[in-house]
Amino acid sequence: MSTPNDLLAFLQRRAGNTLRIVVTYDADGFDLEYVRDDLDRATVDATVSDIHARLTSKPAPSEDECAEHLGRRYVSLQLREEAVVLNFPTDPNAGRVVTLEPEAARQLTGFVAECSKRVYSSEIPV
């Protein structure tokens, strides 16, 4: 198994300036492994605290119904106006969260924007 530093080093090389934050979390708390210099630390702390509460406050889910047909879930992805959020769960209440600038996932966000025009009759701001 790789170490937290392996992921951080990879992200810094691969994502460059589009890397925003890297967090390790478990039921007891979280550790901000990386915060990009231009981000306000107090805002990041508050945001990550909220994310942590949501990720760890739910009862541990049983394996979802999709697993039987689609396989195990490895990562969840959210496209937000200001960031792409990746959650890599390692246990029901533990994992790693990575946020990137939307342009880091340009092909995906472009594809989603095109699909949204057809679903919502307007483009979402990604």
**pLDDT tens, position by position, 13-35:** 999 999 999 999 999 999 999 99
Question: Given pLDDT bands bounded at 50, 70 and 90, which one contains residue 109?
Answer: confident
Contact 8, 33 (CB under 8 A): yes
d(CA 15, CA 13): 6
Instruction: Please give the domain boundaries of the chain with CATH numbers for all domains.
Output: 4-120 (3.30.450.30)
Using the predicted structure, report yes or no on whether residue 11 has a pLDDT greater than 60: yes
Higher pLDDT, 63 or 11: 11
| pLDDT tens digit sequence for 46-97 | 999 999 998 888 655 555 667 777 887 789 999 998 999 999 999 888 999 9
Beta-strand pair 84-91/76-79: antiparallel
* Strand order across the beta sheet in which 84-91 lies: 29-35, 19-26, 94-100, 84-91, 76-79
